Amino acid sequence: MADINIVQAHSLAPEQARAAAQQMADKLAEQFELVCRWDGDVLRFERSGVDGALTLQPHQAQLRIALGFPMSMMASQIEAKVSEKMRQLFAA
- Reported as a single tens digit per residue, the pLDDT across 21-48 is 999 889 888 888 899 999 999 999 999 9
What is the H or E stretch that residue 22 is in?
helix 14-32
Whole-model pTM: value is: 0.90
Percent of the chain with pLDDT over 90: 75
pLDDT at 91: 83
Cα four-point dihedral sign 37, 11, 89, 15: positive
Amino acid at 52: G
Domains (ranges, CATH) in the chain? 2-90 (3.30.310.80)
Q: How many CA atoms lie within 13 A of 4 on its CB side?
A: 24
